[in-house]
Structure 1
Amino acid sequence: MIARLEARFERWRRPVGLALAPAAALVVWWLPLPGLAVPAHKLAALMTLAIILWVSEAIPMAATSLLVPALCIVFGVGAVPAVLAPFASSITFLFIGSFLLGLALQKHGLDRRLALRLLSLPGVTHSAFTVMAALGVLTALLSMWMSNTGTTAVMLPLALGVMQTCPELGRDLRARENLILLIAFAASVGGLATPVGTPPNLIALAALREHAGISLTFVQWMQLALPLSLLMLAWLLWLLRPPAGINLGRADDLRRRFRDQLAALGPWRRGEIHVAGALAAAIFLWVFPGMSELLGFGGNPLTGWIRRHFPEDIIGLLAGLLLLVWPTDFKRWTFTLEWHEAVKIDWGTILLFAGGLSLGAQIFQTGLARAIGEGVGALLGQPDLWTLVAVAIILSIALSEAASNTASAAIMAPMMIAVALAAGVNPIPVALACTLACSFGFLLPVSTGPNAQAYATQQVRLLTMMRQGLWLDLVGAVVIWLVVRFLAPLYGWT
């Protein structure tokens, strides 16, 4: 019955959204909104249009991200330079670079080699739990540097292969479902840990920079998000542990099978070495300056030189471009990453990200942000910081069940920063909690890309996904609040 209801919801979501979006926008357009300037009033109508179109996906989300800024210009909400400038935000280019790196990882099979190397280590094949834990940990690690959807696309075939290699694991319904869900959920949880792990993270950084004048470094993000990611991964491994009594056979035999698959890949190819080198260089440049400061030697010449010549936003782009000019075969004139391959990165998500930045900029420039902030503050009775953090988490998780994580962050991050500023509290904890919560929403296949991929394997029942996803959402909401509540004051973000 639930599957039929979900199918009916999916069938009607787009046509209803296509009809409702302009109707609701017109209602807001003609509705008296005292205290709002004319540009802010018009923007409120266009925001209504954007939110409904994003949530319903009545038209491609990237198209909405281009349509609404264009309408802002047509209806006089803002001038062309002000409306379109966010599309050239430096963080947009960090986005592009991280996508290029992820594409190269998949193209050359470095991700699969790492997975088989991990599975063939001593002790990993000791039990069904250790095998599943290894797959879950590797999924989370890869998704720190690749898109969640790309990571899931790599790891799900490996998980299905493990079930074929270990028939008893595949025959047990609960173990099979838990393994598939572990891959999908771990991809989303791992993406929390770094700014480049998932698009909502970069949306938060850009929104804080543009609307609150606050710049957080790569390491500052990880100081808060990495502990959260590790806690949620630990909860996932316990929640989705295999049933007791599954016998995988002799550990040595199973390990030998994985080693044979690894040997079949042959020695490291030149492309794999290039990708590993570019990724290692990017991670070093992202992490070294912040770690130097944490360890008390941030004033060394190397740290200063890196900060001057390699701003964080440009590192990912340079690493991706390096692969486009690093030859793998001079005679054949082939490169680690070819341009016809590079154009296949997710440009739709990039446009969605940029459109969200544009809309967020107009929210602040027209004064609509201040009005929203004051309205929410009055509704909540001038909330304190931690109440506002809780509200941001709940609203973001609820929205991300129906809309994509990126669309949810594009809507929520600017609005919650505006509410925090109007309430006179530090916007950093609010923005981070809101954005981290946007990467949750594990209830349905439509909630996240990894969820959809897991459900598409036809190995997971919808009720199982909903039950386990609900547990993850509930525990996640509490853990996000606790992590932000106890770590933000340590870093002076209160």
Structure 2
Amino acid sequence: MASCRLLKELWAVRRTIILIITPLALLPVFLLNDSTESRCAYGLAVMAVYWITESLPLACTALLPIVLFPVLGLQPMKDVCKNYMKDTSMFGIGCLTFAIAVETSNLHRRVALRTLLLMGSNPRWLMLGFMLPTWFLSMWVNNTSATAMMIPIVTAVLQQLKDTRIKRTPSMLAKQGMEVKQNKRTSASTSESRRLQPLATTGRRKVENTDPDDNEMDDLDPSSSSSVNNPAAYRRMCKGMSLCVAYAANIGGTGSVSGTSTNLIMQGQAQGLFQQYGLDSGVNFTTWMIFALPGSVICLFLAWIWLSLLFFGPKEWIRRRRTDKVKAALVKETILREYQKLGPVTFAEKAVMSHFLVLVILWLSRKPPVVPGWGSLFPPKFVGDSAAAILIALSLYIFPAERPQVFFWRRSEDRPRAVRAILDWKTVQTTYPWGVLILLGGGFALANACQVSGLSRWIGGQLTVFSYLSPWQLTLVLSAIVAMATEVMSNSATASLLVPILGQLAINLGVNPLYFLFPCTIACSFAFMLPVATPPNAIVFATGHLEVKDMMLAGSVLNVLCVLVVNLAANTWGMAYFGLDTVPPEFSAGALTTATALGTTAPMLENLTASVFSAATEAGLMSDAAETIVNTTLPSLNVSSYL
């Protein structure tokens, strides 16, 4: 009893215990072999434990390099702090600011509801209707916002279906079925289409069906497996509709470089890696979409097909089912009611949409694949995607959210007045996800320290034991490992830890770094199996429709499918466009591998040689001339200190 009470108390303060014990338990990492690599490994290990356990908030852990690396003697403070505000960070600021404008104008909600109205009320098409806008919006706003926006709509539709199931008892369904059959007998000579009309005597609706080929109304059968009147089928529908939103958000975030923070981390760290060799990584908004967007579309439709089969059954695909007109009308009515609450398209929505189109055009036309873009008007590397993002973000603070009430815009009956802008700093300050910006900086600081200390080269050298695998096999294995790792730790933390190591591993193996970085970074977003894996997963799990086993069953298959798709992309159109099968000559893999080997064995050789010389001197086997020769030819060993 006392032990149970003690365990409960320890569990209550587990985060504090981890915070204190972790740095103490890891001290032997560099105390037993003091070197720059081991010191950096110590800092990396501490941050990894904190990120995995979340004993500190992710953004707070990302601030640790400012303290750890100067104290450990790896980098001066000013060099560490430079990593927290880079070109990629400014790109993220611009994109996230625009995302706030989309949310404040309610444009994302209008797009989602309009898509649902177009998709119809058949369960599988309704699922696709939920997935498409979530997927599209998550390319521009963060995945959490896209999910949080869509879940209330899903809940409203499911609640309407539940109310319909409660109100329409089996006896009512039987009467409706009799009315349908009677209607078919009395109206067999006509060719009227199906429609809804009220029953005068009871206030109920009947389904008028005059199609001579319709011999039954399956969806009116209460025993039908896909009917909303089947409680088990309704529960399956709730699970499928909830999961599809989270999965669409996770997949959509891979489609553009601004879709999720892991993409920005990879872009920034890849650029830093290539710049060490005087190269440009070529990873920008346009090239990212060329690589990732086709795969994202394929993954979306695979997810839709798999979830439809899992929760609605194969009959929904094999057999043509009749539509329950009452249910369809109620679903459409629910969505239409939500859409009508938005009112007509506002001036702010039009303005944000215009800004969005201009922003995408600027991104796509800066450095197009075939012809020179507007970026060629400036010196090389002077202008990047962040310039367009910040320009549009600044415009949102200036452009009015309402029709101006001055000069020729003002109607005669209106008084001249100032109107508010689309964005104001107070709104942005309170809603901006500042933690993402700090997390990006922490990842860059960690990657930079790994490169400066030589840790990434050392780890890359140790991983060359996998060189017996062909590059495509190794990419498949690495992306699968990353997809599993991201189930238990933050996507951003996974990318921050692994991207610099994988980049150096590719160089050591004589492989184009982008061949490893693209698939593994995108795999960071394939967290489908656990509620804690991503915020979208947690949001849909909180609806109460799901159990962990539901998410694990659906997510495990989807993990495999998506990892295969991203590897297909790397070995087909990605390889053709980026030339992933060729390595720039600046990446001297042989030289780096040799340097890595020397870096790991030099301390051992130095100690061994010094010991031999010391023993020889003590035995009187070395003359003064020999000592002079040794100290002249091997000054790095500093043998005289041992003599």
Kept in 1, the 8 Å contact 2:502–2:517? The answer is yes
Taking the TM superposition and a 5 Å limit, the aligned residue runs for 1:130-209 are 130-167=125-162, 172-209=234-271
Instruction: State the secondary structure of the residue aligned to 1:120.
Output: helix
SS in 2 for 1:178: helix
Out of 463, 483, 486, the residue aligned to residue 400 of structure 1 is 486
TM-score, normalisation: structure 2: 0.70
Percent of pairs with identical residues: 27
Corresponding residue for residue 60 of structure 1? 57
Tell me, in whole angstroms, the C-alpha distance in 1 between the residues paired with 2:44 and 2:334: 55
Once the two structures are TM-superposed, the CA of residue 253 in structure 1 deviates from its matched residue by 5.9
Instruction: Select which of 299, 303, 321 maps to 2:394.
Output: 321
CA contact (8 A) 1:203 1:353 kept: yes
Query: Within 1, Cα distance between the matches of 2:361 and 2:11?
Result: 44
Is residue 2:423 matched to residue 1:347? no
Identify if the C-alpha distance between structure 1 residues 239 and 20 changes in structure 2 by more than 3 Å, giving closer, same or farther: farther
- 5+ residue gaps in structure 1? 1-6
TM-score, normalization: structure 1? 0.90
Aligned to 2:72: 75
Q: Is the CA contact 1:429–1:484 (under 8 Å) kept in the aligned structure 2?
A: yes
Whichever residue aligns with residue 26 of structure 2, its letter is A
Matched, 1:104 2:107: no
Number of the residue aligned with 1:235: 302
| CA distance in 2: counterparts of 1:25 and 1:96, whole angstroms | 35
Q: d(CA) in 2 for partners of 1:229 and 1:14? A: 37
Q: Distance in 1 between matches of 2:96 and 2:454?
A: 34
Letter in 2 for 1:389: T
Question: For the residues of structure 1 that align with 2:533 and 2:240, how far apart are their CA atoms?
Answer: 18
Q: 1:46 is aligned with what amino acid?
A: G
**Separation in 2, partners of 1:20, 1:391:** 33
Secondary structure class of the residue paired with 1:32: coil
Q: Deviations 1:160-184 (Å, cap 9, x if unpaired)?
A: 1221333355950111101000000
Q: Taking structure 1 as reference, are residues 238 and 22 closer, same or farther at Cα in structure 2, changes over 3 Å only?
A: same
Distance 1:89 1:210, change over 3 A: same
Deviation track 1:52-106 (CA, whole Å, cap 9, x = no partner) reads: 1111111111111111232101221012232121111111011111111111211
1:9/1:192 Cα in 2 relative to 1: closer, same or farther (>3 Å)? farther
- 1:424 counterpart SS class: coil
Query: What CA distance in whole angstroms lies between the structure 1 residues aligned with 2:17 and 2:99?
Result: 36
Matches within 5 A, 1:70-469: 70-121=67-118, 124-167=119-162, 172-213=234-275, 214-241=281-308, 242-243=311-312, 244=316, 249-250=325-326, 251=328, 254-290=331-367, 292-293=368-369, 296=370, 298-299=371-372, 302=374, 304-305=376-377, 311-328=384-401, 331=417, 334-343=420-429, 344-377=431-464, 379-381=465-467, 383-469=469-555
Deviation per CA, 1:310-362: give whole Å up to 9, x if none. Answer: 52122222222221222335736522112111112111121011100011011
Deviation at 1:255, TM superposition (A): 3.5
C-alpha distance in structure 2 between counterparts of 1:248 and 1:144, whole Å: 35
Q: Distance in 1 between matches of 2:114 and 2:9?
A: 44
Cα contact 1:135–1:159 (8 A) shared by 2 = yes
Q: Deviations over 1:242-271 (max 9, x none)?
A: 524795535466445533432332122222
Deviation (angstroms), 1:19: 4.3
Structure 1 or 2: more helix by fraction? 1
> For 1:240, what is the secondary structure of its paired residue?
helix
Q: 1:150 to 1:373 in 2, by over 3 A?
A: same
Query: What do residues 424-483 of structure 1 show as CA deviations (whole Å, max 9, x unaligned)?
Result: 211001011110111112111110110011111112122101111111112222222222
Deviation of residue 386 (structure 1)? 1.8
Task: For 2:11 and 2:126, locate their aligned partners in 1 and report how far apart those are by CA, in whole Å.
Answer: 35
- In structure 2, the partner of 1:3 is none
Specify the structure having the higher radius of gyration (Cα).
2
| Cα distance between partner residues in 2 of 1:184 and 1:39 | 42
Amino acid at match of 2:268: A
Task: Report the aligned-residue RMSD.
Answer: 2.6
Query: Residue 88 of structure 2 contacts residue 264 of structure 2 at CA under 8 Å; is this kept in 1?
Result: yes
Give aligned pairs, total.
Answer: 476
Q: Is the 8 A contact 1:205 1:215 kept in 2?
A: no
Structure 2 residue matching 1:166: 3-state secondary structure: helix
- Aligned AA for 1:328? A
CA offsets per residue over residues 187-231 of structure 1, 9 Å max, x none?
Answer: 000110100011111111111100123231212111111121111
Say which SS state the counterpart of residue 401 (structure 2) adopts: strand
What is the rounded CA distance, in whole Å, between the counterparts of 1:199 and 1:206 in structure 2? 11
For structure 2, the 5+ residue unaligned runs are: 1-7, 166-227, 276-280, 405-416, 582-643
**Pair 1:477–1:15, CA change in 2 (3 A):** farther
- Distance (Å, rounded) in 2 between the aligned partners of 1:440 and 1:13: 29
Residue in structure 2 matched with residue 4 of structure 1 by the alignment: none
Higher RCO (CA 8 Å, separation ≥ 6 residues): 1
Distance 1:10 1:270, change over 3 A: farther
For 1:191, give the aligned amino acid: G
Amino acid at match of 1:229: S
For residue 51 of structure 1, what is the aligned residue in structure 2? 48
Superimposed CA distance per residue, residues 279-305 of structure 1 (whole angstroms, 9 cap, x where no aligned partner): 221111112345x43xx4x136x5644
Q: Structure 2 CA distance, aligned partners of 1:13 and 1:477? A: 35
8 Å CA contact 1:357, 1:410 repeated in 2: yes
The one-letter code of the counterpart of 1:432 is: F
After superposing the two structures, state which structure 1 stretch, 85-94 or 8-17, moved more.
8-17
2:631 maps to what in 1? none
State the 1:12 CA deviation. 8.2
Distance 2:264 2:60 in 1: 20
Structure 1 pair 41/254, CA: closer, same or farther in 2 (3 Å)? closer
Offset of 1:22 from its aligned partner? 1.0
Alpha carbons of structure 1 residues 11 and 420: separation in structure 2 relative to 1, 3 Å: farther
CA 1:375 to 1:246, structure 2 compared with 1: closer, same or farther past 3 Å? farther
